[in-house]
Each structure stands twice: as C-alpha cells, then as structure tokens.
A and B are shown apart, each in its own frame.
Chain A
Amino acid sequence: MRGTLAVARYTLLDLSRRRILLVFFIIGALGIALIGTALKLFSSTFTGGAFSGPSGTTPDPANVNRFLDLMFVTDLVGALGLFALLIAFGIGMTAIYHDLESGAAVAIFSKPVSRLAFTGGKVSAAAAALIVIVGLLSLEAMLFGLLFGGGLEQTLAIEAVAQVANALTLMLIVLALSTWMNNIVAAIVAFIYNAAGGVVVALHNSLASSVNFGDSAILKDGINVLYWLVPHQLTSDAPRELVKAEIQLFAVPGQPGPDLNQALAAVPGPSGANDIIWWAFVVLVMATLVYIAVRRRQV
C-alpha cells in the first residue's frame, strides 16, 4: 500500500507538470466556453417564432426552448467527450511508458516495491488525473448551463459521468498497449479499436431493433460475437431526449407524426446494468494487462 501511494503521488505530480495535458485542458476549457456562449447567443436570437414546422405551423415556444436547451447540452457533452478522449490519450501515452522506456524503472524497481504496487499506483494516478481534468471541464459546462438558465444539470452530470467512464476505458487501453509497444503506435491501435468498437455497437443496436439486416443469421451472430469483444460506450438518456423533443417540436397538431419508437431505434439509449458490468469488466481486464506487462518487463 505504501508503495502504491508513493507511486501514485509522484506520478500525479509528474503528470500535472506535463505541458501536453495543460494544453489539452486549456483548449477544452476554451472550447466549452466558446460552444456554450455561441449556442446561447444562437438560442436567444432565434426564439420560437424563428422556427416553423411542416405546412407553415409555428411550434410551441416552450418546446423550442426545451429543444434548444437539449441541443445546448448535447453539444456541450459532445465537446466534453472529445476533450475527454484527447486527455485520455495524453495520459495513457505518458503515465507509464516514459518510466519504462527512459530507464527510470531501473531505479524504481530496484527499491522494495512490488510490480503490483507500481502498477496500482500508476493506474490509480492516471485515473485520478483523468477524473480531475474531465471533472473540471464538466463543472465548467454545468456552470455555463446555470449561467444561461439552468435546469439540465442532472442530465449533464449523468452524461459527464458516462463520458469520464468512456475516456477511462480508452485511457486504460492506451496504457495497456503502451506497456507492450511504442506509445504512438499504442495510441493509433487504441484509436482504431475504439472506433471499430463504436461501429460494432451501433450495428448491434440496429440489430436489436431489427433494422437493415434482413434474415442473415450469420451476420447477426457475427455482430453478436463482436459486440462482446469491444468496449461498450456508456450513454445517458440525453441523446434520446433530444430526438424526442425534436419530433414533438415539429409535430403537426391533429396529424399522426412519425413512429417515435422507430425514430429512436437508431439513437443509443441509456446504458443498462449489463453495459455497466461490461464496462467494469473491460476496465479490470485492461488494468490486469498493464500489470502482466509490467510484471514480465525486464529493465
């Protein structure tokens, strides 16, 4: 425990002085501020009357405001997710790789610290750094929400937690790969794996709603198998809420609108217990891979 704490403490100190993370954080903070301000300026300029539904109907201004609020939140969390991923790459590529490659590990491993304690300290510090940085960006996003009316803090908070969880998975994948290979190659492999995972999950969601696959059992089985080989992005109900609000906003009174269930099928729904358990499993597997690589490493 003593070794884990020491490694975690000084890894955090080392990470906090890396300019690349500071640059990502500043870009993230400025990006969120710019997006928040631009969207609110847009929403205050174009109020209910500026929108028109089919056949020239004017939607309810309350619906328009609700839609703009949701759009605001969705764009903010989108920006937050992007910067969280950048920070995940930044931490994952540096937290352990430099110690192993520079020779710092030679001095560290000659001290009475086990490889398990070293790995525990590194992974804890990397996770803490990610949570703190993305947490600060989330707080900034929430502050913008409050400054411009508020009311969606809970949605934003849940989505921010999901984004942190997704970024943590990606960071651990980069961290695990960087113990086996060059850190730039590790980042590229992790990026491809993550993107492929996103495609597989989207295909699986379409499969679940019986869209676009016809009766191909082989294709369905293949996608089902692939689905359990990739991390599942965690999501809140914010994306579906936005689509719902959009449909309601443009619905023509007295006429049947589009089938809500069909419209929502393509939008990822809020993650369930299975997704959360799978996420925890993937995190555990990646942390174990980091440990195995560190344990086997001869320096």
Chain B
Amino acid sequence: MAPVVSVEALRKRYRRRDPWAVDGVTFALEPGQAFGLLGPNGSGKTSVVKMIAGLLRPDGGAISLFGSRPGDPAARAQLGFAPEDPDFPKFLRAREVLDYFASLLGLDEDDRKRRIPETLAFAGLDQEKRQVRQFSKGMKQRLGIAQAILGRPKLLILDEPTADLDPLGRRDVRALIESLKDSGVAVLLNSHLLSEVELVCDTVAILAKGRVLKEGTMAEVVPEGRTLEDVFVELVQASAPPKHDNLPSFITDKENQ
C-alpha cells in the first residue's frame, strides 16, 4: 500500500547559528494508520507536522504527501490540519469560518449545507453566535479540529488536539480518531498525553532534540509490563544531560516552610 505521507532525513533549523530543530527524521504513514509523534517541549514535533502541511520549508530531506510536494494544492486538498493553539480571522463567527474554509476546499453548495452544520454540532459550536475573538482557547481548539475534518481528509494531522479540551472533548476526539482510522484515514497525532496516544495509536516515534530516539509499533516500543510513559521518560532522560533535583531552593528548603 502506498504511503499517504513519507518523510525522509528531514532537517530544519530556524537560524543558521541555531541547533537543528529537526535532524534526520524519517517515517511513513499508511492509510488507516494512526501514528503518534511524541517528545518533550522543543523536540521538533510541531516543526515536522508544519513541514508536512507545507507551512515551513525544510532545510534538508524529502517529504512526499500523496505522492506530491507538500506545497501542491491538490495534495493539501486531501489533508486536514488542526494546529496547536489555533486561531482564525477574529471578527468571523464559527459558521462563517467553516464556510470560508469550505470555499477554500472547493466544496459545493450541497456539501456545505450538509457538512457545516454537522461539523459544528460535532464541535459543540452549533449554537455559538459570538465572533471568534470572544472564543475561549478550548472553543478555538474545537473549531480547529472542525475545520480540519471539514474536507473529509485522507490524512488528518492533529497537533496537541486535546491540550485545551475538557474530558468530554477529549473523549470525542478519541472517538473521531477511531472512526477515521476505521474508514481508512491516516492520522498523525502530536501529543504530550501519553495515555491518550497509547489508546489510539498503532505506531509511535519518540523524538528529542529533533531526532527520532525510537520508532515502531506500540508493541515494539513498549515492552510487556511497562507503560509508554516509562519508555518515554527513560529515552528522553538518556538523551539529555544528567539533571539533578532542580526544584527552586525556596520550595525545598525546610526552614522557609
């Protein structure tokens, strides 16, 4: 089966004197597969998915998105991307944002009439009349997921999709991922919530400092009797310089208590 997206020896740095934000990342994702990209803050996860979505230019390596370059609009028509900390034109309402994106996706009138209300209902924004500037972070995150699924993508990229969601919202996103996987959609999930990744992903890659430390199916990465969190902490700590107890002294000092 041809991969939906393949990334080979991907490299990126933001300034010449900076260290590599992404350094030689390689992986591929097939239809119906859910792939978890894990890593501590600043490990390069968001940079990787933004390069796949054509938002950042790689400094090295290659990306194939549906057999094309990520900049190709035809390839991006099959991609849904829910960014971390999403934002939208702030004087528009949720329905107008979805109608705007439906126009960009080239959806016809019948599709819009059906998809926009259903997507708003899924996101819990169907009764929302306020403009985006009055939305909470959680509401923006739900709108971000709504616009990502509107075009019925073949690859859905979710960058920290549940960071600002309540438990009900998280459950809905898990159900969405399961349902999309069943219908052959590939899902690329960036998340800090390891328990969530463990529940929905078939394969994972653990990144630190822009490099893949370990990659494989969940069974390959997490040995029996251990959790994903155990493996993650062990790998990330091994890749970082030894850290001592770095709690502030005014917290640990008994005399101040």
A interface residues, Cβ below 8 angstroms from B:
2-3, 5-7, 9-11, 13-15, 17-18, 98-99, 102-104, 106-114, 298-299
Contact of A112 among B83, B87, B88, B104 (CB under 8 A): B104
Contact B88 A104 (CB under 8 A): yes
Q: Is B86 an interface residue (CB 8 A)?
A: yes
Contact of B87 among A104, A114, A298 (CB under 8 A): A104
Name the A residues within 8 Å of B210 (CB-CB).
none
CA A299 – CA B91 in complex, angstroms? Answer: 21
B interface residues, Cβ below 8 angstroms from A:
50, 53-57, 73-74, 76-77, 79, 81, 83, 85-92, 96, 100-101, 103-106, 131, 144, 147, 151
Name the A residues within 8 Å of B89 (CB-CB).
10-11, 14, 98-99, 104
Interface of A is mostly: helix
Contact of B55 among A2, A6, A99, A299 (CB under 8 A): A299
Question: Known contacts A2-B103, A6-B103, A103-B85: does B91 contact A109 (CB below 8 Å)?
Answer: no
Contact B87 A102 (CB under 8 A): yes
Contact B83 A102 (CB under 8 A): no
4 residue pairs, one from A and one from B, having the closest CB atoms? A6-B103, A103-B87, A112-B73, A110-B81
**Most A CB within 10 A of own CB, among B77, B79, B91:** B91
Contact A111 B83 (CB under 8 A): no
CA A112 – CA B74 in complex, angstroms? Answer: 6
CA A108 – CA B144 in complex, angstroms? Answer: 11
Question: Known contacts A6-B100, A10-B96, A110-B53: does B86 contact A103 (CB below 8 Å)?
Answer: yes
Name the B residues within 8 Å of A17 (CB-CB).
91, 131
A-B contact pairs, 25 of them (CB 8 A): A2-B103, A2-B106, A3-B103, A3-B104, A6-B100, A11-B89, A13-B96, A17-B91, A18-B91, A102-B88, A103-B83, A103-B85, A103-B87, A104-B88, A104-B89, A106-B83, A106-B87, A107-B81, A107-B87, A108-B101, A111-B77, A111-B105, A111-B151, A298-B50, A299-B50
How many inter-chain residue pairs (CB < 8 Å) link A and B?
Answer: 92
CA A151 – CA B101 in complex, angstroms? Answer: 49
Q: Contacts A2-B103, A106-B86, A107-B101 given; 8 further ones with Cβ under 8 A?
A: A3-B104, A9-B100, A10-B92, A14-B89, A14-B91, A17-B91, A103-B87, A106-B87
CB distance from A88 to the nearest CB of B (A): 19
Contact A107 B90 (CB under 8 A): no
Name the A residues within 8 Å of B106 (CB-CB).
2, 112
Contact B55 A113 (CB under 8 A): no
CA A163 – CA B106 in complex, angstroms? Answer: 38
CA A108 – CA B77 in complex, angstroms? Answer: 12
Name the A residues within 8 Å of B131 (CB-CB).
17
CA A111 – CA B91 in complex, angstroms? Answer: 20
Question: Known contacts A10-B89, A10-B96, A107-B88: does B73 contact A114 (CB below 8 Å)?
Answer: yes
Name the B residues within 8 Å of A106 (CB-CB).
50, 55, 81, 83, 86-87
CB distance from B24 to the nearest CB of A (A): 20
Name the B residues within 8 Å of A298 (CB-CB).
50, 55-57
Contact B77 A112 (CB under 8 A): yes
CA A291 – CA B144 in complex, angstroms? Answer: 26
Contact A107 B77 (CB under 8 A): no
CA A114 – CA B101 in complex, angstroms? Answer: 13
CB distance from A156 to the nearest CB of B (A): 33
Contact A109 B54 (CB under 8 A): yes
Name the B residues within 8 Å of A109 (CB-CB).
53-55
Question: Known contacts A14-B92, A17-B131, A103-B85: does B101 contact A111 (CB below 8 Å)?
Answer: yes
CB distance from B45 to the nearest CB of A (A): 15
Q: Which A residue sits closest to B131, measured CB to CB? A: A17
CA A7 – CA B99 in complex, angstroms? Answer: 11
Name the A residues within 8 Å of B85 (CB-CB).
103
CB distance from B57 to the nearest CB of A (A): 6
Question: Known contacts A112-B104, A298-B55: does B144 contact A107 (CB below 8 Å)?
Answer: yes
CB distance from B187 to the nearest CB of A (A): 15
Name the B residues within 8 Å of A104 (CB-CB).
87-90
Name the B residues within 8 Å of A2 (CB-CB).
103-104, 106
Name the A residues within 8 Å of B77 (CB-CB).
111-112
